[in-house]
Amino acid sequence: MSNAPFELNPFDLELTAAGASPAEVEAKALVLGAWTVDGRAQLADVELPAEATEAITAALTTLKATGKQDSTTVLAGAAGVKAPLVVVAGLGEQGAAASTTNERIRRAAGAAVRAAAGAESVALALPAADTDAAVAAAEGAVLGVYADTRFKSTIGADDEVEAEAPEARRLLVCAPAGEGLEQGLARALVLGRQMAYTRDLVNTPANLLYPESFVASVQAHAPEGVEIEVIDDEQLREMGAGAIYGVGMGSARKPRVAVLRYRGKGGKHLSMVGKGITFDTGGISLKPAQGMTTMKCDMGGAAAVAGAVFAAAELGLENAVTGYLALAENMPSANAQRPGDVVTALNGLTVEVLNTDAEGRLAMCDALVMASRENPDVLVDIATLTGAAVMALGDRTIGVMSNDDELRAAVAGTSERTGEPIVGMPIPEEVPEQLVSPVADLKNITGYGKPCGMQSAAAYLQRFVGAVGGEDHVTGDAEQIMWAHLDIAGPAFHEGSPWGYTPAGGTGSGVRTLLALAEELPLA
């Protein structure tokens, strides 16, 4: 029995390669793909009997299927196919660039398994030209089956409330055996499990998820090979971590920093810092009511770090990975910090708090100092940090900023492999100067209504990366560790209807990128 402080959705999933042709595979549902050709769905090439191809093609024509990306057409079987249900998933315009084909397959698989809800076994026969494409289909399927049902209930005849649980799933990938297929499917299953955990954390309401319970959850969920150190509020105060301590002052639920260590097998060292504001009211700089409705998701960065560290441990990566979860609840109260307060961060820098709703960077800066003290080869932070990122990049794209152009390009370059859209952004040279305070070393915002909000947050965080303490940190001339900042304010939480493999609610944004970095550790 789990000792976790709140329930997680069951992850009871089997993922294997099918040992039979698509028409003969034993499954309750068969997933096929269709391209858009002249506005109509055209069945993608796959090994099927002629009668099956003819029947499915006729049905697509009758139903006026388009084959558009994320669309699905559900058929009650087809002649020559054993599966009683056939789901045709749209792949978009035929002739798509090779660099986007795997992501199209990934999204099609996710949409299809959701359309086949209730089928206890699903076979995927999407057009996979190679092992990478077959693994992409597997990834899309394991991400697409996620549904958060923990807080739903059904009233039985005896008026007892029974929790509704998703059915267990068996997923089969119809692909020829190839080098790396078995390993790729195993990785996809680990990714699915840890993405589900990340999504569960983001979706858990703030009355259940707060710094102490977040820590208890990672302790209960951590796989073998992960060591966990917990720094409580009193320790934070005594060690001089005044920035994160100040953020948590207004809440009865005090801040924590959890350090998750996977020591690897002698490779390089990647450190990751995640913003973990378990609920963000804005503090004394109170948000409007409509701005608070999704603020349980403001710990999405910390959740992504936990998921990535756990996945790295499960996969037994060569490289060491350390995650720092900067956990606090930002509440207004008689004890809350005020606009104009000055706090001292762990590296000795003083910060004038002009806006208590710019709290994420305050919580993270102390964790960045902790990470810097271990001198990792690469340091990455991830956060639902700025509305400016949403204004600039929309709801689906991550922004990455860095103190190293090559690292920024390498992080953005993981997108082709992972499917997570990332755009590299510069930190203009004039922005750091705008963070200088007349009464302290720094201020936590450049000013109300100022441009470059995403980059100014990154410039603030950069001051806490590298050599710790001394005049160099005051002047900003400290020797820098190779560092990148990921702003996931847009893609971390999806308020609309599910699409592709993306569910409503917490998405798990950033986990795939962080795991890819842990596997490859670029430039280190």
Residues 156, 40, single domain; the answer is yes
Q: Please determine, for residue 242, whether its predicted confidence score (pLDDT) is greater than 70.
A: yes
> Are 169 and 60 within one domain?
yes
Residue 3 belongs to a domain: no
Instruction: Assess if residue 5 is contained within a domain.
Output: no
**Residue 491 and residue 431 share a domain:** yes
Kindly give the residue spans of alpha helices, DSSP state H, lying in 1-97.
Answer: 50-62
| Residue 19 falls inside a structural domain | yes
- What are 145-202's pLDDT values in tens digits? 999 999 988 755 454 444 444 455 899 999 887 789 999 999 999 999 999 999 999 9
| Rg, Å, the chain Cα set | 24
pLDDT tens column, 316-368: 999 999 999 999 999 999 999 999 999 999 999 999 999 999 999 999 999 99
- 200 domain-assigned: no
Residue pair 388/465 in contact (Cβ under 8 Å)? The answer is: no
Instruction: Name the domain count of the chain.
Output: 2
CATH code of the domain containing 94: 3.40.220.10
Same domain, 215 and 173: no
List 287, 338, 373, 417, catalytic entry: 287
Mean pLDDT for 406-414 is 97
In terms of pLDDT, which residue wins out, 10 or 19?
10
| 361 part of the active site | yes
From 135, 157, 189, the end of a domain falls on 189
What's the predicted TM-score (pTM) here?
Answer: 0.95
- Pairing relation of β-strands 493-494 and 256-262? unpaired
Residue 240 resides in a domain: yes
CA distances (Å), 388 to each of 9, 277, 291, 464, in order? 33, 18, 14, 21
Q: Which of 189, 223, 255 marks a domain boundary? A: 189
- Domain that residue 30 falls in: 13-189
Helix (H, G, I), strand (E, B) or coil at 299: helix
Same domain, 252 and 398: yes
pLDDT at 388 over 90: yes
Annotated binding residues for Mn(2+), written as ranges, equal 275, 280, 298, 357, 359
132 and 267 assigned to the same domain = no
Mean residue pLDDT across the chain = 93
Active site residue 263: no
Q: Which two structure tokens, joined as six digits, stand for 372? A: 């810097």
Pair 230, 131 in one domain? no
In a domain, 44, yes or no: yes
Distance separating alpha carbons of residues 508 and 143, to the nearest angstrom: 10
* 57 plus 172 within the same structural domain: yes
Residue pLDDT, tens place only, 192-236: 999 999 999 999 999 999 999 999 999 999 999 999 999 999 999
Which residue is catalytic, options 104, 296, 361, 408? 361
Residue 3 has pLDDT above 80, yes or no: no
Are 489 and 444 within one domain?
yes
Instruction: Encode 90-155 in three state secondary structure.
Output: EEEECCCCHHHHHHHHHHHHHHHHHHCCCCCEEEECCCCCCHHHHHHHHHHHHHHCCCCCCCCEEE
